[in-house]
Amino acid sequence: MKLSFTEQEMLESKQVMQNFDFNLTENIAEEIGNSRIIFTGMGSSLIFPGNQAKNRALKFNLTNKVEVFFASDLFQFTDFSDTYIFLCSNSGKTKEVILLLEHAQKYGAKCIGLTAVADSILAQRADKKIILTCGFEKGVAATKSVVEQGLVYDSLIFHLAKNQRKNVDFDQLKNELNLAAEAVEKNINAKVNEQLLQVLADAKYYFIVGLENGVAEEITLKAYEISRKMALFFPDTHIVHGPEEAIEEGCAIIFDPSSFQDYISDFEKFSGKTNCTLIGIGEDNLISGLKVEVNETFKNYCLLSGGWGLLRNVGNKMGIDIDHPVKASKVGNPFNG
């Protein structure tokens, strides 16, 4: 069967990972020093890259204050002194990002644009720019660009950590990234049990549960774009704290069981009360679902690719033309001006 552009671009993530150069952000990390960092954008340009980087920064216990905001949420603030704002937009013309760029610069921010289009408005107006090597995707759902955006921010965090005398070995990281690239390809190509696929095809809603590292939330966005299902992201174990009263039966609850091993019995009780099916995406078989390969250093990328693999199978099962949605567009809210 011929692959859609979206599926091809998912699989091209492997090459993006193998080609990635961690030296890309060495100079900007040196310039930033201990300043505050804000990652911003809209949709896929923020959800995984920003939250994944913040998560890693917390694990390193960096002296930098690292924050993640949707671009539309940052207009309420008017003091960006000693702040570096990374504004991410594949197209370089997302309206909220371009308007925020002007606002943030007015109030003292140093703005770094991250885009796939070298001559875009964002690239031209930002104080500094980083151009993605993956190119502008043909598929509406962002995939390989999300991986490269994540790696750019990861690279920045690694350099900041090394500058702060944390244990960072870039040769080892490159080896780990190559291993992760192999795992990502396998996860995207993973075969999904037909019975499980039917459950997902029939489900009215998906409830996608995960840590606040961007993985589950980004899979939720992809569920809209690929399976055309209404999906809702629940952070951590919030789903077992009240929502059951409003959840209809026959829905699917998708999560990584290894992240919630102490709460498996709570999820199982929840499943029984709501008559919804639990589906695991993870490296073990604690819950029936899709078993994925994981590289621990880049685990979040591996789990994300497992979500893509699951959803591409659902889309194909339902006969959906993933590349040509009826309502959505590649640039959701373009700047005109």
By the 10 Å C-beta count (0-12 exposed, 13-18 middle, 19+ buried), 120 is classed as: buried
Asked whether this chain's domains 5-168 and 188-317 adopt the same fold, the reply is yes
Looking at the predicted structure, is the pLDDT value of residue 319 above 80?
yes
Domain 5-168 class? alpha beta
**Angle between helical axes of 144-163 and 47-60 (0-180°, round to 10):** 20
Q: For 38-90, what is each residue's pLDDT tens digit?
A: 999 999 999 999 999 999 999 999 999 999 999 999 999 999 999 999 999 99
Tokens of 12: 């091209």
**Global pTM value:** 0.95
Percentage with pLDDT > 90 across the chain:
89
Alpha-helix runs per DSSP H in the chain = 5-11, 13-19, 26-32, 47-60, 95-106, 121-125, 144-163, 170-188, 194-202, 215-222, 264-274, 299-317
CB atoms near residue 272 (< 10 Å)? 10
Q: Distance (Å, rounded) from C-alpha 4 to C-alpha 71?
A: 30
Which CATH class for the 188-317 domain? alpha beta
> What is the pLDDT at residue 136?
83
Between 133-137, 153-157, 172-176, the lowest mean confidence (pLDDT) is in 133-137
pLDDT band, very low/low/confident/very high, at 135 (cuts 50, 70, 90): confident
Domain positions in the chain? 5-168, 188-317
Question: What average pLDDT does range 166-172 have in this prediction?
Answer: 98
